[in-house]
Amino acid sequence: MATGAERAYEAVRAAILEGEFRPGDKLAESSLAQRLDLSRTPVREALRRLSLDGLVEIEANRGARVIRWDADDLGEVFALRAVLESHAAGRAAELRTDEQLARIERALTAMDALGDRTDPEAIERRSVHNAELHDGIVEAARSPRLPQLLQQLVSVNAIARNFGQYSPAELERSQRQHHDIVSAIRRRNAELARAAMTTHLLSSSEVLADLPEDDG
Average pLDDT, the chain: 89
Mean pLDDT of 128-149: 95
Last residue of a domain, one of 66, 97, 116: 66
Last residue of a domain, one of 36, 66, 96: 66
Pair 156, 107 in one domain: yes
CATH code at 57?
1.10.10.10
Residue closest to 203 by CA, chosen among 173, 180, 158, 162: 173
Among the residues of 53-116, which ranges form H helices?
71-95, 98-114
For 26-65, write each residue's pLDDT tens digit: 999 999 999 999 999 999 999 999 998 888 999 988 899 9
Domain range enclosing 33 = 4-66
Residue 212 has pLDDT above 60, yes or no: no
pTM: 0.79
Domain count, the chain: 2
141/135 Cα distance (integer angstroms): 10
Percent of the chain with pLDDT over 90: 61
Pair 34, 107 in one domain: no
Pair 95, 8 in one domain: no
Residue bearing the bigger pLDDT, 205 or 41: 41
Residue 128 has pLDDT above 70, yes or no: yes
Contact 53, 155 (CB under 8 A): yes
Pair 59, 86 in one domain: no
Last residue of a domain, one of 14, 38, 66: 66
Does any domain span residue 181?
yes
CATH code at 170?
1.20.120.530
Does any domain span residue 214?
no
Radius of gyration of the chain (CA): 18
